[in-house]
Amino acid sequence: MINVTYNDKKTNKLIELNAEEIEQCKSFKGKWVHMINPDDKEIEFVSEITSIPEIALKAALDEEERPRIEKEDEYLLVLVDIPVIQDDEDDRISYTTLPMGIIVTENILVTVCLKDSAVTRDFIYGRVKNVFINNPTRFTFQLLFTIATKFLHYLRQIDKTSQKVQTELHKSMKNKELIQLLDIENTLVYFSTSIRTNNVVIDKLSRSNFLPKVEEDQDLIEDVAIESLQALDMCNTYKDILSSTMDAFASVISNNLNIVMKILTSITVIISVPTLIASLFGMNLGGIPGGNFKFGFLIVTLVSLLMAVGLGLVLYRKKMM
pLDDT in tens, 40-63: 898 888 888 888 888 888 888 888
Of 203, 220, 255, the position where a domain reaches its end is 255
DSSP 8-state code for residue 126: T
Helix/strand/coil for 295: coil
Q: Tell whether 249 and 263 lie within a shared domain.
A: no
Q: Of all helices (H) and strands (E), which one includes residue 166?
A: helix 136-169
Say whether both 203 and 292 belong to one domain. no
Domain finish residue from 237, 255, 273:
255
Give the residue from 229, 255, 281 where a domain finishes: 255
What does residue 6 show for φ and ψ, rounded to 5 degrees? -145, 165
Q: How many angstroms separate the CA atoms of 273 and 144, rounded? A: 73
**Is the model's pLDDT at 232 over the cut of 60?**
yes
Domain that holds residue 174: 2-255
The larger pLDDT score, comparing residue 238 to residue 271, is at: 238
Q: Are residues 305 and 186 in the same domain?
A: no
Residue 76: give its domain's CATH number. 3.30.460.20
pLDDT band with cut points at 50, 70 and 90 for residue 146? very high
Q: Which DSSP helix (H) or strand (E) runs through 320?
A: none
| Same domain membership, residue 287 and residue 244 | no
- Summarize pLDDT for 208-220 with one digit per residue, the tens: 888 777 777 788 8
Residue 287: predicted pLDDT = 54
pLDDT band at 233 (very low <50, low <70, confident <90, very high): very high
Q: Do 106 and 64 share a structural domain?
A: yes
Pair (176, 216) in one structural domain: yes
Q: How many CB atoms are closer than 10 A to CB 48?
A: 10
Asked if 24 and 40 sit in the same domain, the reply is yes
Task: Name the domain count of the chain.
Answer: 2
